[in-house]
Amino acid sequence: MDAKEKHKERKIFILIGLVFTILVVNLPVLYSKFYHEINGTNKVEDGRTDLRDLDLSKGVYYLDGEWEFHPNQFVHSDKKKTDNDKYFLEVPDEWTNIKVHGKKLTADGYGTYKLTITNFSYNKNITIYIPDFGSAYRIYIDGKLTSKSGVVSKDNNKIFTSPKSDIYPVKLSNRTQHEVIIELATTRFSGLYMSPVIGDYHQIIQKSILKNSVRFVLFGIGLFSLMGLFTFYLLSIKRKIYTLWMPSMVLLILMRIMLTSEFYSFWQNILFFNLSYEKTNEIMYAESFLLKFLLIFLVQEQCGIQFAKKEKWGFFSLYTILFLIYLCTPSTIYNQYLSTIVPMLTFTLDIYIVFKIYLWSDRLKKYGMIIFWSSILITVGVAIDSYYINGSILMDMSLVMLLLFVLFLIIMDILYIIRALDLYDDFSISSSRLELTKKQLTIQKEHYNALSGQMHEIREIKHEINRFITIMNQLVEEENIEKLRNFLNEFTEKASFDQLPVFCEHAIANSIIGYNYMKAKEIGIQFECHCSIANQIGITDSDLCIILGNALENAVYASSQIDPSYARFIKIESKAMNGQRLIKVENTYNGELNVEEGKYKSLKESNSHGFGIYNMEKVVQSYKGHMKIEHSEKVFTLMIAIPEIDIN
């Protein structure tokens, strides 16, 4: 696959990621909006609902719709009549949308929701509660307490909220009409912003136990992943491979998980000083904004997509302004006008990141696409949790963010391990390059010494040439043919020397081949070379040194282990064909091979035992090439094909 096709494929995957995010986030919202139409069930209307066809054995049922509402009253506890100040209010929604005596209700306060259920009977214990709800409430069925959460009070200073519900079983009477009363108190959340559910008591308890077990298992995995990332960070800090933003991001993720719905009730006394759940909203918003902002550094460092300082400051300013708006705006105004807009604006960065990666997809680092998709997990998790705790999603989605965040942490752990291994490989190859560079200097020194020796001999011959001519003239004049013949033979023998062959045009390749040619010749190994290697071939000198140096060194060593009486040989070929640089090295060997887990390793004893072939393979793979090894009983063959890059 060429660079253009790869770039196009990346862009397609990025667009798929964007579409995937939009669908996954919004499908639960759409399903909730048309829940009753899809399931063929009745919605609450005018404070009444008909449940004649309800089968609780199939699961819980959502009691959303138009409830009867009595502001500033606790109808059951106060035993007050409900004839006055009665309104019909949509659930889930906020009571700040209605006016009492000409004034809109404030976000804080208390009131009673009332529902009449008709044509419903059930022979087992039931319960009604509000899962993951942040305000304080009490729910009664036919006057019997069935669930409660926090401390309900008419005094704001005495209201205490917790997302955990205490659930009690209620056995319905034989009547087919039943009354449900919810007494609610809040310091900021404006009423029933989430839908109550009715269900079989034992099924709900079992589901709650299972949810808590899954929650703690996922949290444990997340904590273990955090420890792993911190370990990688501490091990790599001296090399400046990673920066402090990643551990900070993971800590924010774990804190965001701890602040999530019912899970907060476990940590409420342990870490948050028994802080009322409604008062943690400022912490949750600040933490969410910081987590969003750190996505910039995730994408920048792990994907290779750079952000300018003005971009970073721009988004930092945006999140600071949004947080100040949330912090300073009265709850009544915020809940009525800004509770949807502000959370939506937080996703500006997510959209910006997607389009930035799309435009610069050709700059993505290795594994950058995996990082992009893992960042989608954070976006989807935060978005779904935001919709869920604001009542836009009816179904229980309390574990979705936790699951996606933990999956993100696991992916990051795996990638850090892979990159650590890649770093080790790079270090191994760099060490090999350094070692081969030193060896290459030695090779070139010996090669040039041999050339220098030949030049010295040539200079000596040139120096003797005049004497040679004088003596020849004298012997010719004397017609002493026998002495002339002896003199010529003596001079020819003295002037003869072995000329160093030129194996190819590439200087580095030529010196490596020449060095191994001399080593082979010294120990009586036949050396044959058919190489066409130009000065510029699209492979770096250091990489070519690793390939040729290791291949020929192994070949010389393997052939040297055979009895000299055997016909020992080394043959190297290299040429360009169909856009590929082909290299083939054949040599005799004694039939012994060191193969571990399908990998060939050198039989030489050295500190770099086994790394020669491995490093060759890594270099070949870095060029998207292929390496193949074949062997018979006496001949070992190494074949390499590397795509040649057009350097023009």
pLDDT bucket at 430, cuts 50 / 70 / 90 = low
**The predicted structure's pLDDT at residue 362:** 82
In whole angstroms, give the CA distance from residue 537 to residue 580: 10
pLDDT bucket at 158, cuts 50 / 70 / 90 = very high
The mean per-residue pLDDT over the stretch 89-94 comes to: 91
Q: Is 108 helix (H, G, I), strand (E, B) or coil?
A: coil
Q: Is the dihedral of CA 338, 340, 343, 349 positive or negative?
A: negative
Lowest mean pLDDT among 252-256, 486-490, 576-580: 486-490
Q: Roughly what angle, to the nearest 10 degrees, separates helices 400-478 and 201-236?
A: 30
The mean per-residue pLDDT over the stretch 549-560 comes to: 90
The mean per-residue pLDDT over the stretch 524-539 comes to: 89
Say what percent of the chain tops pLDDT 90: 31
pLDDT exceeds cutoff 50 at 608: no
**The predicted structure's pLDDT at residue 414:** 83
pLDDT bucket at 230, cuts 50 / 70 / 90 = confident
pLDDT bucket at 607, cuts 50 / 70 / 90 = very low
What are the strands, taking DSSP E only, across 413-546? Answer: 526-531
Closest CA relative to residue 509, chosen from 484, 487, 540, 478: 540
The mean per-residue pLDDT over the stretch 601-627 comes to: 70
The predicted-structure confidence for 305-317, as pLDDT tens digits, reads as follows 889 999 999 999 9
pLDDT exceeds cutoff 60 at 455: no
Closest CA relative to residue 623, chosen from 544, 508, 505: 544
- The top-scoring range by mean pLDDT among 53-67, 291-305, 608-622 is 53-67
pLDDT bucket at 500, cuts 50 / 70 / 90 = low
The mean per-residue pLDDT over the stretch 234-242 comes to: 56
Assign residue 556 a region (left: φ > 0; alpha: ψ between -120 and 50; beta: otherwise): alpha
> Which positions ≥6 away from 607 have C-beta within 8 Å?
none
pLDDT bucket at 242, cuts 50 / 70 / 90 = low
pLDDT bucket at 609, cuts 50 / 70 / 90 = very low
The predicted-structure confidence for 163-188, as pLDDT tens digits, reads as follows 889 999 999 988 889 999 999 999 98
More confident position, 222 or 639: 639
pLDDT exceeds cutoff 60 at 536: yes
The predicted-structure confidence for 279-315, as pLDDT tens digits, reads as follows 888 888 888 888 889 889 888 888 888 899 999 999 9
Give the long-range contacts of residues 8-15, CB within 8 A, separation 24 or more: 10/361, 10/362, 10/364, 10/369, 11/358, 11/361, 13/369, 14/354, 14/357, 14/358, 14/361, 14/372, 15/358
**The predicted structure's pLDDT at residue 544:** 85
**The predicted structure's pLDDT at residue 621:** 86
**The predicted structure's pLDDT at residue 256:** 81
The predicted-structure confidence for 313-371, as pLDDT tens digits, reads as follows 999 999 999 999 999 998 888 887 888 888 888 889 999 999 999 888 888 887 888 88
pLDDT exceeds cutoff 90 at 265: no
pLDDT exceeds cutoff 50 at 610: no
The mean per-residue pLDDT over the stretch 59-84 comes to: 84
**The predicted structure's pLDDT at residue 92:** 92
> Could you give the C-alpha distances from 169 to 125, 146, 172, 198, in angstroms and in order?
5, 6, 10, 11
Residue 19: alpha-carbon gap to chain centroid: 19
Assign residue 479 a region (left: φ > 0; alpha: ψ between -120 and 50; beta: otherwise): left
Q: Which residue, chain included where needed, has tokens 């055979």?
A: 562
More confident position, 443 or 618: 618
In whole angstroms, give the CA distance from residue 169 to residue 202: 8
The mean per-residue pLDDT over the stretch 514-524 comes to: 88
Give the long-range contacts of residues 45-50, CB within 8 A, separation 24 or more: 46/88, 47/88, 47/114, 47/115, 47/116, 48/115, 48/116, 48/117, 48/118, 49/115, 49/116, 49/117, 49/118, 50/118, 50/119, 50/120
Phi then psi for residue 630, to 5 deg, are: -130, 155
pLDDT bucket at 141, cuts 50 / 70 / 90 = very high
More confident position, 490 or 575: 575
Write down the mean pLDDT value for the chain: 83
> Could you give the C-alpha distances from 573 to 164, 340, 389, 504, 622, in angstroms and in order?
75, 70, 69, 11, 22
Q: What are residue 166's DSSP bridge partners?
A: 148
* C-beta atoms surrounding 389 within 10 Å: 22
pLDDT exceeds cutoff 60 at 21: yes
pLDDT exceeds cutoff 90 at 512: no
